[in-house]
Structure 1
Amino acid sequence: CYAPERTLTMGTFSKVLSPGFRLGYIIGPKPALDPLTTIKQAVDLHTSTFTQLISARCLDEGLMKTHMPDVRALYRTQCHCMLDALERYFPEGTTWTKPDGGMFIWVTLPEYINTDDMMKEALDRKVAYVPSSAFYANEPKFNQMRLSFVTVPPEKIDQGVKVVAELVKEKMAAHNA
């Protein structure tokens, strides 16, 4: 049963309008929102006025309705490109997610490969990823990585995946030697 007097709706413009936007919102009854407003003001001094103005303009002019289908189509193409490259280049013994949406693919490597340690070598080869340890508050896993497919064109996605796959193959070969 929907009870608007007891319901809070939260959302974000983060990564929807632009990857760097950090703007969220809460819709709900005033008695619930007043204490949340006080808490927010105590936690951060102010949300970016520039980000708020851009978001308001996009909403006012209906850009979200016209912009989002194009963004989804672009991300879908880039996601498929990365999934194809992973299939083509990554060795047996590795796995990855096949997202229905979003901006990232989560890759799992054999447990003996530490993606934190491997990161410097990847950066030396002009490729970056986010090691999985950054996503754990306790007991991090070190054999996973998050790959983003939304900020580069398909040809760079293919080349980047190929470089990371070569690194992974080197680590596997060294381990098995």
Structure 2
Amino acid sequence: MKSKFIIDPSLLDLDNPIADIEAIRKLNPQRFEMEQLTAILYEDLETNCCAALKEITDQEFWVRGHMPGMPLMPGVVMLECVAQLSSYFTQKNDLLGAEIVGFGGVDDVRFRGVVMPGDKLILMVKLVKARRNRMIVASFQGVVGDLIVVEGTLKGIPIPVEAIENAMAEKLSS
């Protein structure tokens, strides 16, 4: 039995994104091989839903080793894609009041298909709960074609940037 899509795919225009990689970089700190979004495709503040595109190329950092001769996108990288979309939406709309949003956990995750170079992975997120300064909870799906390849629930938390910077400085000075 197929799950219902969080966002009707007919609302998504892959050729006319609403935010490109430069707009994503203004809100998400990941760079280089850890940038896991290509573009933002859709946002709806009334339903607290958003969607993004991740174009999977043969240049992804995991292609060579996962697995040689049969490159399959690791599930944990799919989850990172969803986390980055959730972070983008949370930061753009200042839902958490945090300098950076981090991964807080995932629940009920199911991998239902494979993602390979050449695929266009569509990520969909629906915010379920936002507790300012504490946590966001979002339902998510990853879709290739008309197949849901991953789904579950993600939690995002505020990252204590100043405390981490102080701890890093302390380590370097000792």
Report the TM-score when normalising by structure 2.
0.26
Whichever structure has more strand as a proportion of its residues is 2
The higher radius of gyration belongs to: 1
